[in-house]
A and B are shown apart, each in its own frame.
Chain A
């Protein structure tokens, strides 16, 4: 049986995995060479098209493929390091990119050879992303776009080769209509990256200054003026990526605080215990809600519950982290290290309790503030009317700012 004849079910995919393993022994094959071979066999993301790392197979089969490779001791692409590329850039490029662009970008994105970052938020455009001011102007001579502006809250900008970028291309129309979406080469001279230090002391994020940065028109995703619609694809994938993973009981923050409680009997009081168990139960209820959501997806009946998972995750994590400091008492008066660092990976439950408390504050801001999520739930799930808007029919250049 040749590869192309193998069926697109779990059995057929297992046979394909076996082929890759047979021709590229993980024990002796160079990591990058192995990952490229896996991509070329269509086993990177099986639901992607043939030739772009996939097989047009059902997405549910991916987990089994990942498990087969892991069981064989194969290297993975360190997905946490390249989360923005995998979770946000790739689906957007796939949906809106030209054929040549997809061929050029998706393989090194998946193998991790090229790291991606997201240039969306600006100092003047946070929750109101559509207010963004970074200008892209067409150079009529070359057809390239010349970009000027400032972006902020950019993870991985200092290691990124590429960025997904939303710009203002027409200031004379209402804000949602005058944007255009690009992929930007971060290594060019017009791109300056500065660390943005945050309340934990470290700098996960960056500010990115764009000064006459140049983008060939072939790197535009979607039509000129359709950047908002393209960005929706990215943002939808971002919210799925945060707070949507399977967790064991006491996974995440609940396990950290429970561990402290078990290790430090001398700190226990009845009042702290009731609060701890209350939060434990809440964390457990939403862990089960996450399982329920995945069961709904598996039978093809996604419910509206997904909109709430990130909101619940943020609230519970913050309350648990805050409680842990109260449990710790005197130990909560100390912090492990305020020195400026640039972590490659971010672990919300890493380091010590003080860090976890401070880092959790970001959970209700990043990837959509809890307030914006409440608007989305109340309008899209519950069907309540929107607040009256004053910014929808006004040209972007005439908006107060």
Chain B
């Protein structure tokens, strides 16, 4: 608990600059709306550069498996920047959730190593076939069963980044217990319900006796899924932080330039104090998110406490920031053309992701001996 490094290292600061440059070029808020309304809501060109050229998809993957050999700290940093841009790329689904689950399997096995490499290099997009709202302590998912012949059947709703996936990492229970499987997207029936979050669409995925490759059995599969959910919840806090930062920055700029009553509306104390409070929330959120990333990176025993703290706090901060952004922009903030709503939708959907804040608080209470 005392060894945590809560700062951004020089390497991390450089990485932030690279990712931000890329996003500034490819993903400015004005074009975001056109993108998510198009037939191709994911920005595949951006993803290829981010994953392939910058190596962002394999940051936490060891070198020998095709990754960058960095850690959850760097992944968190990329998520901050992606949150700041509400970027429509399948980073959470592929580089965080599916990759974390795979790294929880035996990476000496060819099937695992091969898939990790494909995801880490950006050659393929993966998705972890669980509802995005799955709570970190939900236990092994029960939506899919594995037959004696090794094929999978069942339906998983609300899979993050599922419409972009080339391959699904699927938790399924078979005759010998829980297992983790890989299924090609072509072997699954993927539909796209109308998604509340336009910049990270969900998919409903159905397997009808789909051919599958087993990646882990009962000894590893449950921990691999739990680990992926814990990592996802902890690192999502950094995305929420980045999103909140955009909302704050954008609102401050707007209030400096918007005149009513003959003066910038940002000079009214009633508004300034709200923004000061929001800024302060971000100070707390940044510390909590950094601590979660650092404990996950080091495999620290305090990681579950850090994740529950960060996810419950940062989820609320992001929603608060997005709501303030809409309200303080006034009428323009309520329009479809202004990007603020894309951030609000991302923030609210992310608040529910991996369990709403109250559920993380229930877990946190148990972890820190504040019993019900």
Contacts and interface: CB of A to CB of B under 8 A. Distances in A.
A374 B273 contact: yes
A285 B272 contact: no
Interface stretch (A118-126, A354-362, A383-391): A383-391
A281 B370 contact: no
Interface string B1-22: 1001111000000000000000
B144 interface: no
B279 A278 contact: no
B343 interface: no
A281 B312 contact: yes
B263 interface: yes
B290 A292 contact: yes
A378 B313 CA distance: 22
B313 A292 contact: no
Nearest to B294: A288
A139 interface: no
A295 B263 contact: no
Interface string B44-60: 00000000000000000
Contact of B288 (A273, A276, A285, A384): A285
Given A261-B370, A281-B309, A385-B267, A308 B279 contact: yes
Contact of A289 (B269, B283, B310, B312): B283
Interface string A261-288: 1100100101001101110111011101
B266 interface: yes
A218 interface: no
A281 B313 contact: yes
B186 interface: no
B192 interface: no
Nearest to A286: B284
Q: B interface, how many residues as a size bin? A: 35 or more
A231 to B, nearest CB: 23
Contacts of A265: 371
A382 interface: yes
A120 to B, nearest CB: 23
B264 interface: yes
Interface string B357-372: 1100110110011111
B277 A277 contact: no
A385 B370 contact: no
Interface string B264-296: 101111001101110110011111101100000
The interface residues of chain B, by DSSP majority, are classed as helix
Given A281-B312, A282-B313, A292 B267 contact: no
A386 B269 CA distance: 8
Which of A261, A274, A289 is the most central at the interface, judged by chain B CB atoms within 10 Å of its CB?
A289
A308 B364 CA distance: 26
B5 to A, nearest CB: 7
B267 A285 contact: no
Nearest to A377: B276
A388 B267 contact: yes
Given A261-B370, A281-B313, A282-B313, A382 B269 contact: no
A168 B343 CA distance: 52
Interface string A289-318: 101100110010000010010011000000
A371 B273 contact: yes
Which of B6, B279, B284, B291 is the most central at the interface, judged by chain A CB atoms within 10 Å of its CB?
B284
Given A374-B272, A382-B275, A295 B372 contact: no
Given A273-B370, A284-B309, A384 B287 contact: no
Contacts of B365: 273, 276-277, 280
B297 interface: no
A378 B287 contact: no
A378 B273 contact: yes
Given A281-B309, A288-B291, A384-B267, A268 B279 contact: no
Nearest to B280: A308
Nearest to B316: A278
A295 B6 contact: yes
Nearest to B361: A277
Contacts of B269: 371, 374-375, 387
Contact of B272 (A258, A262, A311, A379): A379
A381 interface: yes
Contacts of A384: 252, 255-256, 264, 266-267, 272, 275
A386 B272 CA distance: 9
A277 B287 CA distance: 18
Given A289-B284, A382-B252, A388-B263, A280 B370 contact: yes
A249 interface: yes
Contacts of A249: 1
Contacts of A382: 252, 272, 275-276, 279
A234 B271 CA distance: 29
B273 A292 contact: no
Contacts of A289: 283-284, 286-287
Which of A265, A288, A378 is the most central at the interface, judged by chain B CB atoms within 10 Å of its CB?
A288
B264 A292 contact: no
B4 A378 contact: no
Contacts of B275: 378, 382, 384
B280 A288 contact: no
A311 B277 CA distance: 9
Contact of A377 (B1, B279, B287, B371): B279
Contacts of A371: 269, 273
A371 B273 CA distance: 8
A381 B117 CA distance: 44
Contacts of A274: 358, 361-362
Interface in B332-372: 357-358, 361-362, 364-365, 368-372
12 contacts: A277-B368, A278-B361, A284-B288, A285-B309, A286-B284, A311-B276, A378-B272, A382-B276, A383-B256, A385-B266, A385-B267, A388-B267
Given A276-B370, A286-B287, 14 more contacts: A273-B372, A276-B365, A277-B312, A277-B370, A281-B312, A285-B313, A288-B284, A295-B6, A295-B7, A371-B269, A374-B269, A377-B280, A378-B276, A384-B266
Closest 10 CB pairs of A and B: A378-B272, A285-B284, A288-B287, A289-B287, A374-B276, A385-B267, A292-B6, A377-B276, A277-B361, A285-B288
